[in-house]
Copies of this chain bind each other. A is one copy, B any other.
Amino acid sequence: MEKLSINELKELEKLSILCRGDILKMTTLAGSGHPGGSLSSIDMYLTVYKMANISPDNYKSLDRDRIIVSHGHTSPGVYSVLGRNGFFDIDEAIAYFRLAGSIFEGHIERMVPGVEWTTGNLGQGLSAACGMALAAKYFSKSYNVYCFMGDGEQQKGQISEARRFAIKYRLNNLIAFVDYNRLQISGNIADVMPQNIKDEYIADGWAVLEIDGHNFEEISRAIIEANKIERPVLILAHTIMGKGVSFMENKEVYHGKALSEEQLDEALKELGIENDLEKYKKMRANFSFDETKHEIFRYEINIDTGIPKTYGVKVKTDNRSAFGAAITDLVQLNSLKSDSNPILVFDCDLAGSVKTDKVAADFKEYFYESGIQEHHTATCAGAASVNGIVSFFADFGVFGIDETYNQQRLNDINDTNLKVVTTHVGIDVGEDGKTHQCIDYIGVMRNLYGFKVIVPADPNQTDRAVRYAASKYGNFLISMGRSKTAVIPDENGKPFFGEDYVFEYGKIDIIRDGEIPLLSYGSMLQRGLEVVEILKNEGLNLALLNVSCPFHLDKDTLLKFKDSKIWFTYEDHNVNSGLGAIIADFIATNGLGIKLVKFGIKNYSYSGKPDNIFSLIGLSPKAIAADIKSYL
């Protein structure tokens, strides 16, 4: 990396004035947005985009440098730099900023050419940068990852997690910037929440360089120096909010407030830029919506799914062990193939329980141990996966879903290729009690549009589902309990999900045919089978359906039972938000006129062996059989 020449520095100076004009015009035109921080970060953005290996020609190549902007509200700044560097027509960004249907949204998003990661909820950018930085080695690339952050944002705990992770995994290709303008929405950061940013980074092992964030020579020198330091580096850049417009400087009100047209005129005069707002007003009035511009680029994924493993009906193992065997097989198989995408496994101090310990032991370079840092890990795994990686993040349900819901939401908005595997869901986790009983995994994830959810019934279905999810681009949640599970048998006593079984996403399996359907899934299915058998002995002919993909219902199979006046659901999940709620939705929105009886968990539960708890709360197979009988 070479020093910038005097001419190049002069060119940056000129560009920075144009960009300031762009920022002010687009925010005034939209009547909202964040000009203050944009003006404060813009000189750094310009310098990094100048020096880094990223351009309109290579922004889809695997070896480009990555630039993450964590404080995504500085979108006007980002759009102006990208536009002025030819990633798209700058006039469109100015004209269509924050206009419904435009890609130039209030916070930066991945469909904009050159934007690597959708941000907006603060504190996640450094974790995303870690994910992209670690991905480099799997493609024998030496690219850098630059991560810009705000200073107020440093208050978020997730950043401390990311800092430690970067040190542990020697992500020396990671260079972070803090835009240290000392103002956040509520005022001076020292008043809002006193913090020693520099000391915190040093305590965690980072190198810290301090510069003037509006001096192009200092910025470029720091980038060159940071590239030489064999550690993650923070460039703490002293800046001025609203920099370049005298009446905006150091005023926190401009964090999130656009100038009026009169103020804009005054500001443009000060910058020496022509006021051509009318031109953009006309463009804005003639905007035409194009859905295809909102598509996000995906790398193609090629995974060898190997040979499925079939567990015999006499085997009694847990689904998580079946997951562990499958993921170990997948990592091994694909690590040997040059045309396979790398499969990485992320852990939060639970490898032994979630059964990724064999990957940890035997395929160390495909395994990332993050410690008890779930927020960071969820984001890091997600961000790695948009770079040609297949990420598996295995954790207990309460950590991989409940604790990290917003991180998974942002992953989903980012269209990541993340496989979240949560074990220990349901009351099935048993003695660990309420805080560990993830009885909301369907209900919580139901709010995300992109995630596909699979809750396999037994070790055989688990094996197939894991191999399937690994090979398909996109976000999956695969959930399972803790306890050992019976291998579900067919009517002949053979494994229902046997040698010939092929997992089909969305398919409902008729485990036992009959007239009145009992719908279940996961670890409850084996209890459902007990219910059906008890009732069979009493002359009642129930069908047992396995709904392993609750978000994408197999309508044809369900409608086979439309003549039954009553349906039952039975689940180890909050009764308000699980499969029962989804089936109710199906019944009501299709106007089927069927009565639904839902069996599920009605309150935070107890700590004890699952069977004992189910008995205590009226959900044992015997109790359910009696209940069903009373309805028929």
Q: Taking CB as reference atom, which chain B residue is nearest A576?
A: B446
Assess the A98–B607 pair: CB atoms within 8 A.
Answer: yes
A184 within 8 A of B: yes
Q: How many copies of this chain sit in the oligomeric assembly?
A: 2
Tell me which residues across on chain B come within 8 A of A109, comparing CB atoms: 433-434
Residues on B with C-beta less than 8 A from A581 are: 581, 584-585
With a cutoff of 8 Å between Cβ atoms, the chain B residues found around residue A184 in the complex are: 349, 371-372
Interface string of A587-626 (1 = CB under 8 A from B): 1111101111110001110111100110110000000000
Which residue in B167, B193, B369 is a CB contact (below 8 Å) of A370?
Answer: B193
Chain B residues in 8 Å Cβ range of A476: none
Interface segment among A99-107, A297-305, A317-325, A508-516: the answer is: A99-107
User: Interface readout for A98-140 with B: 1 if CB under 8 Å, 0 if not?
Assistant: 1111100111010000000011111100000000000000000
B121 near A609 with CB under 8 A, answer no
Question: What is the bound-complex CA distance between A50 and B584, given in angstroms?
Answer: 55
Which of B152, B160, B595, B602 touches A349 (beta carbons < 8 Å)?
Answer: B152
- Decide if A210 is an interface residue (CB 8 Å cutoff): no
The answer for the CA separation of A507 and B597 in the assembled complex, in Å, is 25
**Residues of B contacting A566 in the complex (Cβ-Cβ under 8 angstroms):** 591
Do B588 and A591 touch across chains, with their CB atoms under 8 A apart?
no
* In the complex, A153 has a CB within 8 A of chain B: yes
**From B347, B587, B613, contact of A584 by CB (8 A):** B587
Q: What sequence of 0s and 1s flags, for each residue 426-453 of chain A, a beta carbon within 8 Å of any chain B beta carbon? A: 0000011111100110011011010000
Cβ-based interface call for A165 (8 A)? yes
Interface residues on A, range: 35 or more
A511 vs chain B, min Cβ distance (A): 23
* Cβ contacts under 8 Å, A119 to chain B: 435
Is A92's beta carbon under 8 Å from chain B? no
Partner of A435, one of B30, B72, B590: B72
Determine the chain B residues whose CB is within 8 A of the CB of A45 once the complex forms.
none
Q: How far is the CB of A590 from chain B (nearest CB, A)?
A: 8
Q: A203-B200, A447-B576, A588-B596 are in contact. Are A372 and B433 (CB under 8 A)?
A: no
Q: In the bound complex, how far is the Cα of B469 from the Cα of A399, in angstroms?
A: 30
In the assembled complex, which residues on chain B have CB atoms less than 8 Å from the CB atom of A196?
203-205
A164 & B193 in contact (Cβ 8 Å cutoff)? yes
Task: Determine if A520 is an interface residue (Cβ-Cβ < 8 Å).
Answer: no
Known: A200-B200, A204-B200, A440-B447. Contact between A165 and B193, CB under 8 A?
yes
A159: interface (CB < 8 Å): yes
> Are B155 and A158 in contact, CB atoms less than 8 angstroms apart?
no
Besides the contacts A102-B606, A444-B447, what 9 more A-B pairs have beta carbons closer than 8 Å?
Answer: A100-B616, A101-B606, A184-B349, A184-B372, A185-B350, A186-B352, A409-B440, A413-B604, A581-B581
For this complex, 17 residue pairs linking A to B, each with C-beta atoms less than 8 Å apart, are: A100-B607, A107-B434, A107-B607, A120-B434, A120-B436, A121-B402, A121-B436, A155-B372, A160-B160, A164-B193, A186-B351, A580-B585, A581-B584, A584-B587, A585-B588, A588-B595, A590-B595
Report the 8 A-B pairs with minimum CB-CB distance, sorted nearest first: A157-B157, A100-B608, A120-B435, A193-B371, A591-B595, A105-B607, A440-B447, A100-B612
